[in-house]
Amino acid sequence: MTHLDAHPDPLAARIVRRPSRSGPSLLGGSIELPPRPCTHEPATWVSPWTGAAGTVGTVAVVGAGKMGLPLAVQFASHGWRVVAVDVNPAVVAAIEAGRSHVTEEPGLDEFVARERAAGRLTATTDGTAAARSADVVVFIVPVMLDDEQRPDYRHMDAAVEAIGRGLRPGATAIFETTLPVGDTRHRYAPRLAELSGLSPEVDLFVAFSPERLYSGAALRNLATYPKLVGGIGDASGERAARFYASVLDAEIVLLSSAEAAEFAKLADTTYRDVNIALATEFARYAERIGVDISEVIEAANSQPYSHIHQPGIGVGGHCIPVYPHFLLAKAPELELVALARRVNDGGVGHAIRSIGRVLGGLDGEPVLVLGLTYRHGVKELAYSRALPLIERLRFHGATVAAYDPLLSPEEIEACCATPWRWGEPGPFRAIVVQTADPQFRTLDPAWFPELEVVYDGRNALRDLAFPEAVTVLGVGLPARGGRLRTVAPAGA
């Protein structure tokens, strides 16, 4: 661990060139790291802010969504004046009223109310005006995939156009949205310079610093995970690192370039996609030989160099199914990355084939899908595997109903399926579990007298007793009950 300089500068003391190895090892399974306590001293607000220790300035956070709003209040709580920028007037109105429109983050409501009352947090739809007052601009605007699985830059391009017209000399622009490698330097730094008339590395500093937040734990994550930063040059990297050192309690890791930081985020998320694909292939083999894959994974991970993830019906959310395609957009030769995407996306087809074998086909069969969001506890449908699951079930002739405790019947109907109300008797011959919501463990099989097969895509119901006539299939679990009571001999 090498510090940037040796003089007694409290900001420099927080910045390192390599992540510290002093924390507990994550090998052999996931653990929860403790957040670091805040040790920042009160700082003096200045304008313009030039990175001096003991000073803070004004920051515009562009994109006040479920990740942007936690960042905004984190910065405000450390003394910065924060302008949250969003294209949605309802989001801006909520923040201006001291309310959080993001409901899944514990403590966020209180933070927003406190920082708004203190005058450190405001909101606007006018990005250009926000940039004119900002020393630092943090972009956290979605970049997702288009219909051809290529990066869709529409929202980020629009945000850059608005902000670029207002940047003032000495401004620092930081991209937290995950981007393909090279985009910070080659796509956005030149455009910001052109729009503002400023010169990169002279009076405009541009850097990439990926958000590393988990829905439902964003504020905790900000005090836990090392903050990676990389600039388009040395001046940009150091200016951005000093900003984060003034607002975050976690370790700040200044990498050699924006490309290294971009690649680090893509490597992180793609590793998880590949690992889950490997676990899923292990699960398919475990099903064939009648072995419980969870027992195998727990045993394997008792060796500290093994860190096998959990298999499932597929991978959803804004990150893991998306960012491997950002790598492939620039490096299509990465065969293992492409294969992992195919394996994980194939989970839906495996589930449908498994159900169809039990029922003898799906045409006209009533099917209930439990869980529509991409992950239980998060009200978000982004890349949820429930959507292609329902589409494929209908393609094969099934009639589909669905339930999710996070969604109203009206939202379910608008989204994709006929809503089913919890506890109502139903004619379903098949149930597919797509999220691991704890409520599903209280399901009563007596509600479904016609039930023949359960496909538990998250192994959430493994301890629930079903009638012997019902075939229960899990991911990497021996089939139990019903028509599939035998398995191939070990080694088959």
* Cβ proximity of 420 and 368 under 8 Å: yes
Nearest 5°: phi and psi at 222?
-60, -25
Question: Is 416 labeled as catalytic in the residue annotation?
Answer: no
Identify the helix (H) or strand (E) that includes residue 454. Answer: strand 453-456
In three-state secondary structure terms, 357 is helix
Nearest to residue 459, comparing CAs of 286, 215, 275? 286
Taking residue 464's Cβ as centre, other Cβ atoms within 10 Å add up to: 15
Output the six-digit token pair for 213. Answer: 């937040």
In three-state secondary structure terms, 56 is strand
Taking residue 331's Cβ as centre, other Cβ atoms within 10 Å add up to: 12
Taking residue 214's Cβ as centre, other Cβ atoms within 10 Å add up to: 15
SS (H, E, C) 10-64: CCHHHEECCCCCCCCCCCCCCCCCCCCCCCCCCCEECCCCCCCCCEECEEEEECC
HSE (CB half, 13 Å, CA atoms) of 133?
17
* Cβ proximity of 59 and 81 under 8 Å: yes
Give exposure, 426-462, as e/b (b: 16+ Cβ within 10 Å).
bebbbbbbbbbbeebeebebeebeebbbbbbbbbbbe
Please list the residues that pair with 204 across neighbouring strands.
171, 200
* Cβ proximity of 245 and 11 under 8 Å: yes
Dihedral (Cα; 364, 366, 370, 372), 10-degree rounding? 40
Nearest to residue 121, comparing CAs of 172, 75, 163? 75
Which residue out of 66, 227, 265, 379 is catalytically annotated?
265
Give exposure, 96-119, as e/b (b: 16+ Cβ within 10 Å).
eeeebbbebbeebbebbbebbeee
Nearest to residue 214, comparing CAs of 133, 319, 296? 319
Region class of 170: left (phi > 0), else alpha (psi between -120 and 50), else beta: left
Question: Is 38 labeled as catalytic in the residue annotation?
Answer: no
HSE (CB half, 13 Å, CA atoms) of 492?
12
**Residues across the chain:** 492
Separation of alpha carbons 355 and 431, rounded Å? 9
Separation of alpha carbons 314 and 348, rounded Å? 7
In three-state secondary structure terms, 469 is coil
Identify the helix (H) or strand (E) that includes residue 473. Answer: strand 471-474
Which residue out of 38, 66, 227, 319 is catalytically annotated?
319
In three-state secondary structure terms, 134 is coil
Q: Residues with catalytic annotation?
A: 265, 319
